[in-house]
């Protein structure tokens, strides 16, 4: 079973709160999960210690058995010192106008 470490949304409307969970990669965002290993509260200040809380021991375990991280969780783990690599940057989608300009520049 391929596992993923990702965010699961909780909280109410306009007051987001996220759990950092280990789940089956094929399951829906807020469905069942295997284990909860932390939390993220975006409403707190950036300097607050409680903004991102991670159980580092369990996170290291799940990374050792091959769990993949989402981009956002990878950033959190990088800041916490659990991983040293930077997350892959996803290419932004180009609009039709941008594609046309790129083709004209190539020609």
Digit-coded pLDDT (tens) for 37-79: 999 999 999 999 999 999 999 999 999 999 999 999 999 999 9
pLDDT of residue 1: 72
b/e burial code for range 74-103 (CB count within 10 A of at least 16 → b): bebbeeeebbeeeeeeeeeeeeeeeeeeee
Query: Is residue 97 predicted with pLDDT exceeding 70?
Result: no
CB-based contacts of 80, cutoff 8 Å, min separation 6: 52, 54, 56
Say yes or no to pLDDT of 34 above 70: yes
**Under 8 Å between Cβ of 22 and 64:** no
Higher-pLDDT residue of 32, 104: 32
pLDDT at 87: 75
């Amino acid at each position: 079973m391929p596992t993923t470490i990702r965010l699961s949304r909780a909280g109410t409307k306009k007051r987001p709160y996220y759990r950092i969970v280990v789940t089956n990669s094929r399951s829906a965002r807020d469905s069942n999960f295997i284990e909860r290993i932390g939390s993220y509260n975006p409403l707190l200040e950036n300097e607050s210690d409680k903004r991102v809380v991670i159980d580092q021991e369990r996170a290291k375990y799940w990374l050792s058995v091959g769990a993949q991280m989402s981009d956002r969780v990878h950033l959190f783990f990088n800041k916490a010192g659990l991983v040293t690599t930077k997350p892959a940057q996803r290419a932004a989608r180009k609009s039709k106008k941008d594609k046309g300009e790129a083709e004209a520049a190539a020609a």
